[in-house]
């Protein structure tokens, strides 16, 4: 299985996937930590893929999405964005809307707390 096949299989067989440096319990960079922190705080169940453990996946995910940076968030097989985009979407409420449209459960009160703390 090529890296591209593996990535496609992962993003299409899991509702929410975060390609990141490190893991959701031990992020290895600030940007990955921020996105994982948002998802963890909002109680979103997601699959984390540590790109540091596989060079082919690390490069492959950039090619797959045509996006140069990591982390990368996928919801229901669709690329959503990296750290800056996820931060903006969280603060604007767009991430809540996306989760609702896609049928992904999350803690709405936690999402509101994030916005209050950063408002």
Binding positions for [2Fe-2S] cluster: 29
Q: Are 67 and 37 in contact (CB under 8 A)?
A: no
Paired tokens of 19: 């390609």
13 vs 29: CA distance, rounded Å: 26
Q: Are 79 and 65 in contact (CB under 8 A)?
A: yes
Q: CB neighbours (10 Å) of residue 32? A: 27
Q: Which residues are annotated as a binding site?
A: 29
18 vs 33: CA distance, rounded Å: 11
CA distances from 71 to 1, 8, 34, 49 (A): 23, 16, 9, 10
């Amino acid at each position: 299985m090529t890296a591209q096949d593996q990535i496609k299989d992962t993003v299409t067989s899991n509702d929410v996937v975060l390609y990141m440096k490190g893991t959701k319990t031990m992020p290895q960079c600030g940007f990955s930590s921020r996105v994982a922190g948002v998802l963890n705080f909002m109680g979103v169940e997601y699959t984390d893929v540590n790109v540091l453990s596989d060079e082919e996946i690390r490069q492959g995910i950039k090619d797959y999405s045509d996006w140069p940076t990591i982390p990368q968030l996928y919801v229901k097989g669709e690329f959503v964005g990296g750290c800056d985009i996820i931060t903006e979407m969280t603060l604007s409420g767009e991430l809540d809307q996306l989760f609702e449209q896609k049928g992904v459960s999350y803690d709405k009160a936690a999402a509101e707390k994030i916005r209050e703390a950063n408002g």
